[in-house]
Structure 1
Amino acid sequence: MEYVIEMLNIRKEFGNFVANDNITLQLKKGEIHALLGENGAGKSTLMNVLFGLYQPDGGEIRVKGTPVKISNPNVANDLGIGMVHQHFMLVDTFTVTENIILGREITSAGKIDLKKAEQEVRQISERYGLSVDPQAKISDISVGMQQRVEILKTLYRGAEILIFDEPTAVLTPQEIKELIQIMKTLIKEGKSIILITHKLKEIMEVADRCTVIRKGKGIGTVNVSETNPNELASLMVGREVVFKTEKVEATPKHDVLEVKDLTVKDARGVTVVNGLNLTVRAGEIVGIAGIDGNGQSELIEAITGLRKAESGSIKVNGKELINLSPRTITESGVGHIPQDRHKHGLVLNFPIGENMVLQNYYQKPYSKNGVLNFHKIYEQAKKLIREFDVRTPSEYTLARALSGGNQQKAIIGREVDRDPDLLIAAQPTRGLDVGAIEFIHKRLIEQRDKGKAVLLVSFELDEIMNVSDRIAVIYEGKIVAIVNPKETDEQELGLLMAGSNRKEAGAHV
């Protein structure tokens, strides 16, 4: 059997921490090979070794049977290996074409030949069904389209082997469907794909084989057609995983959050929250279901003080909070797990320990007379790291060095520990593995059972159905329906999210 890529007994260490402990992965030509593992299991590290971003401390890489040394990404590109990163590497102010040719510019008489480059980009885009406008500016296109630009970038450089790092973490359900189609087209055209993921549904749908790694060690490779999601989950986390969150019936009490006639504009000055009304009571989880771009982000930003509202009222425990500062709102009993953990959740160049007190560092015991007490700060961090199973070499490790899932657990630990009356969780499990998702769902339900109000915003319909006690459907900046998860299904929710009224949506049931 000829493999296009062989990674044999790869070892990668960071100080005393072994990220990859003699892992073997073999990719056949024309297959989609999933690389499955928990957050922090070493998946991205292994692929960064293949792409030349890290040098291995042991083992061998072969391309089409020939041993190679991949000293940097340019060598990987020359070997036909391209990587679509989880966090896109694009210049916002450049056009699609300018981003794609960056570092590989076509020149004519010393000038960049943009016309020729655009033509090439258009041809590649059409060949692989990517439908990208070569002249569009990156800042003007959706996240899903930006990802396609990343794919185009690798194809433009002649990639035969594509590494996708958590490609669906930031996509809407519709964009995920389209991406799966794109992957299948790439395979038909003779490419081979390594797919880093922990979404079992996607592996079952698209992958041929799957290599599982756990805590830096290779557990084995299985044929996807001969396995099932439960078996894969057990291999990944080393125990059985419960997919359905157990919870008792909610017993809601008084109103905690009351939003009335709220109007909010986006960055372009367009009204995106349009006279919205919403109530969340103590002891319940209200899930907001909606297609991305219907005002969810702006609603959360207005409640948490990150964006000015035009008009309306936002009350927490009867106190008017509209357009107050984020700190005042936080101190009024609001916890916030933000949608973008890098932009609004963490200071990436701070140690994870200091990130654990970002909301209350100025209060006792962490500070006295304006002087920080680092002993107390790191004591608290140690406690939360233990309690929330944050996998990190130490509390002094920089936040940016942690995997996405562990960064998320740290934020959730920080917010839950403050014991807010209202906990807002925006995409709390985005990019997380099944073990971490199970853990976070339990924590949200624990908050509910302690009599707290929880507002959950998620694009994952199964998460909304699984965790919520009531579901509020948002469409064009308004709550258009409130439904009971037990009396609806994904099809009805999908129709409501697309603007059908309840009668039309319910007609199929």
Structure 2
Amino acid sequence: MRLEVRGLTKAFGDFLADDDIDLIVEPGQVHAILGENGAGKSTLMNMLYGILAPTSGQILIDGNPVRFSSPSDAIAAGIGMVHQHFKLVGPFSVADNVQLGREHVTRGRLDREGARQAVLSVSQRYGLALDPDALCEDLPVGVQQRVEIVKALSGETDLLILDEPTAVLTPPEVAELLEIIGNLTDAGMSVIFISHKLKEVKAIADSITVLRRGKVVAEASPSDTEAELAAAMVGRSVVLTVERPPADPGAVALEIKDLTVLGERGTAMLDGLNLAVRSGEIVGLAGVEGNGQTELARAVLGTITPDSGSIEMGGTPVTGWNPYRRIVAGLGYIPEDRGRDGLAGDFTVAENLVLNQYRDAPLSNRGVVDATAVRALADKAIADFDIRTRGPGELVSALSGGNQQKVVIAREFSRPRSVLVAAQPTRGVDVGAIEFIHRRLVAERDSGTGVLLISAELDEILALSDRIAVIHNGQIVGEVAPDTPREVIGQLMAGHRPADPATAS
């Protein structure tokens, strides 16, 4: 399929989300779309997929103008899409999710075996191993994405749109996805790859279009340097390395002793874990996702109760405290899943920015929220953190994923803290925002906050950490310096403790 876009524009009132976009995707090509959060990438894709109607402009397939009034029209034309936020029904099987909206029916009844075979056929054709009978809620995130891809490919798909496909994937899962994309294009399919991760774009793209504030600002090449691509996205030079002076750690700000958390089936998610974070340092927690990081973060916040062990903040036991009491005592928390744990989607941007402090002065007076004070705080946060929104009264659910993350970051950085737990703080944000968040984390450290950084990005752990703790099967299996060779850290992440005691403690 050859896709051409001519002058495509989408306006929401006076706001131009996309402004006169021209774009060509050739058959069998990976065409990457780069841009900051809020640059118009997802809006453009939603027009191509029939979710949004263009205000003006044309979409042409193989030279013929088309109009899509719904995703069904786009699917019928050969376009499939995998959204940034998966649209799966957790309690349904893989086969049931894939056939939603295009059910296999025989004599008025669902043909479940036909659906199973359809999943197996697409899986084998494109190298996407899936169990059609598995429940989607039981699958790792990377496998859930395979389900979304198989769902998109289960029709006669000639062009596949992948919207921020690696935002929630681990490095091994990213490598698998890039290999899958290669299989798709080898089979003649066209792929639109939307991302802000420069390494991945350079590795997979045949051509690159850069958007900024709704306009095409550059047609780039995968041979361009990361610095050149970043500058095109942001409109200025971006520092891709983290500049930070040596840490000056003080007293212990957060201490976790012999912490054990059991899962629903009695499996130890945390198994006697010990970890300390001092004021004025960043401790990076490295590990393959699913080894207890989520349970550790939630236990520190207080949303899950440990089966044994203790948690102290500044020497004060807080194990039995509720989350609000810990927040008042100086705990900041950036959750790994902003949609589930960080935001109230039906609340406005302003309301989300004050979720954990609206009861406190100056935002509240004798139990009554001061709307003027809330608005003033929101206006300042929007400006300080460059949140791309139509205003503080806009629903946070209407923002792009990266701008939603900025709301969470702004909220947690807008009040005093002694301890900050930052779980995947840059997940789903662009290079300009990553640069900003990294600077703020270092500034937090330098102001005396003890920072626990949990990240699936090893580059981020190495760039920011003063000390690295490696977690495996719910235990800290070693602590190393940030200049430790990646191979050693990789061995620890796999659960292999090094023989040299100097490399781990």
Range of TM-score over shorter length: over 0.9
- Aligned partner of 1:220 in structure 2 is 218
One-letter code aligned to 2:113: K
Asked whether the equivalents of residues 94 and 137 of structure 1 are also in contact (C-alpha less than 8 Å), the reply is: yes
User: How far is the alpha carbon of 1:116 from its aligned partner?
Assistant: 1.6
- Aligned partner of 1:54 in structure 2 is 52
User: How far is the alpha carbon of 1:387 from its aligned partner?
Assistant: 1.4
- Aligned partner of 2:326 in structure 1 is 329
One-letter code aligned to 1:174: P
- Aligned partner of 1:420 in structure 2 is 417
One-letter code aligned to 2:238: V
1:103 and 1:215 map into 2 onto residues whose CA distance is: 34
Residue 89 of structure 2 is aligned to residue 84 of structure 1: no
| SS of 2:390 mapped into structure 1 | coil
- Aligned partner of 1:469 in structure 2 is 466
Instruction: Pick one of 428, 431, 434 that aligns with 2:431.
Output: 434
User: How far is the alpha carbon of 1:505 from its aligned partner?
Assistant: 11
Asked whether the equivalents of residues 302 and 323 of structure 1 are also in contact (C-alpha less than 8 Å), the reply is: no
1:282 and 1:134 map into 2 onto residues whose CA distance is: 49
Alignment of 1:253-402 (within 5 A): 253-402=250-399
One-letter code aligned to 1:256: A
- Aligned partner of 1:493 in structure 2 is 489
User: How far is the alpha carbon of 1:370 from its aligned partner?
Assistant: 2.5
| SS of 1:485 mapped into structure 2 | coil
2:434 and 2:140 map into 1 onto residues whose CA distance is: 26
Q: State how many pairs are aligned.
A: 503
User: How far is the alpha carbon of 1:216 from its aligned partner?
Assistant: 0.8
One-letter code aligned to 1:168: T
User: How far is the alpha carbon of 1:409 from its aligned partner?
Assistant: 1.4
| SS of 2:300 mapped into structure 1 | helix
Alignment of 1:2-401 (within 5 A): 4-225=2-223, 227-401=224-398
One-letter code aligned to 2:491: L
- Aligned partner of 2:403 in structure 1 is 406
TM-score by length of 1: 0.97
1:41 and 1:385 map into 2 onto residues whose CA distance is: 16
1:287 and 1:112 map into 2 onto residues whose CA distance is: 50
- Aligned partner of 1:446 in structure 2 is 443
1:490 and 1:48 map into 2 onto residues whose CA distance is: 40
Deviations along 1:187-227, one digit per CA (max 9) or x if unpaired, are: 111111000000000011111100000111101222323x1
TM-aligned CA distance change 1:459 to 1:506, over 3 Å: farther
- Aligned partner of 1:502 in structure 2 is 498
2:302 and 2:44 map into 1 onto residues whose CA distance is: 40
User: How far is the alpha carbon of 1:375 from its aligned partner?
Assistant: 1.2
2:155 and 2:501 map into 1 onto residues whose CA distance is: 46
User: How far is the alpha carbon of 1:97 from its aligned partner?
Assistant: 0.5
| SS of 2:2 mapped into structure 1 | strand
1:83 and 1:233 map into 2 onto residues whose CA distance is: 26
1:345 and 1:64 map into 2 onto residues whose CA distance is: 43
One-letter code aligned to 1:333: G
Deviations along 1:199-256, one digit per CA (max 9) or x if unpaired, are: 000011111100000111101222323x121111111111111111100000101100
1:16 and 1:92 map into 2 onto residues whose CA distance is: 38
1:496 and 1:219 map into 2 onto residues whose CA distance is: 44
One-letter code aligned to 2:392: E
One-letter code aligned to 1:105: E
1:68 and 1:482 map into 2 onto residues whose CA distance is: 58
Deviations along 1:344-397, one digit per CA (max 9) or x if unpaired, are: 111111110011110011122222332221111111111111111111111111
User: How far is the alpha carbon of 1:271 from its aligned partner?
Assistant: 1.1
Asked whether the equivalents of residues 405 and 428 of structure 2 are also in contact (C-alpha less than 8 Å), the reply is: no
User: How far is the alpha carbon of 1:123 from its aligned partner?
Assistant: 1.3
User: How far is the alpha carbon of 1:175 from its aligned partner?
Assistant: 0.6
Between 239-248 and 494-503, the greater mean CA deviation after superposition: 494-503
Asked whether the equivalents of residues 425 and 456 of structure 1 are also in contact (C-alpha less than 8 Å), the reply is: yes
User: How far is the alpha carbon of 1:489 from its aligned partner?
Assistant: 2.6
Asked whether the equivalents of residues 354 and 378 of structure 1 are also in contact (C-alpha less than 8 Å), the reply is: no
User: How far is the alpha carbon of 1:502 from its aligned partner?
Assistant: 2.3
User: How far is the alpha carbon of 1:504 from its aligned partner?
Assistant: 7.3
Cα RMSD of the aligned pairs, angstroms, is: 1.3
For structure 1, list consecutive stretches of 5 or more residues without a partner in the other structure: none
1:386 and 1:142 map into 2 onto residues whose CA distance is: 37
TM-score by length of 2: 0.98
1:112 and 1:55 map into 2 onto residues whose CA distance is: 33
| SS of 1:147 mapped into structure 2 | helix
User: How far is the alpha carbon of 1:268 from its aligned partner?
Assistant: 4.1
One-letter code aligned to 1:368: N
1:499 and 1:241 map into 2 onto residues whose CA distance is: 36
Asked whether the equivalents of residues 220 and 229 of structure 2 are also in contact (C-alpha less than 8 Å), the reply is: no
Deviations along 1:59-83, one digit per CA (max 9) or x if unpaired, are: 1100111001111100000000000
| SS of 2:97 mapped into structure 1 | helix
One-letter code aligned to 2:494: A
User: How far is the alpha carbon of 1:402 from its aligned partner?
Assistant: 1.2
Asked whether the equivalents of residues 492 and 505 of structure 1 are also in contact (C-alpha less than 8 Å), the reply is: no
1:105 and 1:504 map into 2 onto residues whose CA distance is: 58
1:96 and 1:409 map into 2 onto residues whose CA distance is: 33
For structure 2, list consecutive stretches of 5 or more residues without a partner in the other structure: none
